[in-house]
Chain A
Amino acid sequence: KNQVEQSPQSLIILEGKNCTLQCNYTVSPFSNLRWYKQDTGRGPVSLTIMTFSENTKSNGRYTATLDADTKQSSLHITASQLSDSASYICVVSARNTGGFKTIFGAGTRLFVKA
């Protein structure tokens, strides 16, 4: 069964600290993996996208890694800011006979405190 599991469910950190969010998936055959940031009451916004051949991708203070062998990804946030408080969603796409299937994780809720 295609699944995307994220951990932790929620996380509280102090402003200025770093953190790492985890994503494990069992989606097959793998096509790509994306990380989204979703502010409360808003739609998700794409942060990074990685295909099979990529193992790291950065977007400002956000760095995503991908290990396609172990089917794990992480999102590292450096020097956190209050505005980083949001849900971070891992999304994996799999190729199927009709096109692609996209499976969303439940997200990690990050709270950055002053």
Chain B
Amino acid sequence: GAGVSQTPSNKVTEKGKYVELRCDPISGHTALYWYRQSLGQGPEFLIYFQGTGAADDSGLPNDRFFAVRPEGSVSTLKIQRTERGDSAVYLCASSLWGQNLMSTDTQYFGPGTRLTVL
């Protein structure tokens, strides 16, 4: 089972609650990306980690969104005070080198977490 995995697969929460979404990248991949995908749209970039550090967090929509990757492997996307507009599929991807080191590096996506905020 060497692919990217994400948990939970589905998360239903109430407006105002806090949620955490987890991503397990492919072993050995140094880069990890989070995206958000609304129905009928392409993924929207949120944040990119190179190792443990966030190389680019310019896609995070506001300070309610935060992500960590403390040991350079598993990452957690955290959303505070959730709003109905946060409902989407949150995709995680990993790649071997990272786009800043190798622009053509292939990203491997997980199945996503479908977040529904009621």
Real complex partners, A and B?
yes
Specify which chain A residues have a CB less than 8 angstroms from the CB of B40 in the assembled complex. Answer: 106-107
Contact A42 B100, beta carbon cutoff 8 Å? no
A100 and B33 CA atoms in complex are apart in Å by 13
Proximity bits, B76-112, A CB within 8 Å = 1, else 0? 0000000000000001010000011001101111111
Contact B111 A107, beta carbon cutoff 8 Å? no
Number of interface residues of A (CB under 8 A): 24
A42 and B108 CA atoms in complex are apart in Å by 12
Check: A24 CB closer than 8 A to any chain B CB: no
Specify which chain A residues have a CB less than 8 angstroms from the CB of B35 in the assembled complex. Answer: 104
Check: A19 CB closer than 8 A to any chain B CB: no
**Consensus secondary structure, chain B interface:** loop
Contact B104 A32, beta carbon cutoff 8 Å? yes
Check: A65 CB closer than 8 A to any chain B CB: no
Known: A41-B111, A42-B111, A43-B111. A32 touches B103 (CB 8 A): yes
Specify which chain B residues have a CB less than 8 angstroms from the CB of A4 in the assembled complex. Answer: 42
> Which interface class (under 10, 10 to 19, 20 to 34, 35 or more) fits B?
20 to 34
| 14 additional contacts (CB under 8 A) given A91-B42, A102-B99, A104-B35 | A4-B42, A31-B103, A42-B111, A43-B109, A43-B110, A44-B91, A93-B103, A95-B103, A98-B56, A99-B100, A100-B103, A104-B43, A107-B41, A107-B42
A-B contact pairs, 30 of them (CB 8 A): A31-B103, A32-B104, A41-B112, A43-B4, A43-B93, A43-B109, A43-B110, A43-B111, A43-B112, A44-B91, A44-B109, A46-B107, A46-B108, A49-B104, A49-B106, A89-B42, A89-B43, A93-B103, A99-B48, A99-B56, A100-B100, A101-B45, A104-B35, A104-B42, A104-B43, A104-B44, A105-B42, A106-B40, A106-B42, A107-B40
Q: Top 6 A-B pairs ranked by shortest CB distance?
A: A43-B109, A104-B42, A99-B100, A100-B99, A31-B103, A106-B42
Which residues of B are at the interface with A, using a C-beta cutoff of 8 A? 4, 35, 40-45, 48, 55-56, 91, 93, 99-100, 103-104, 106-112
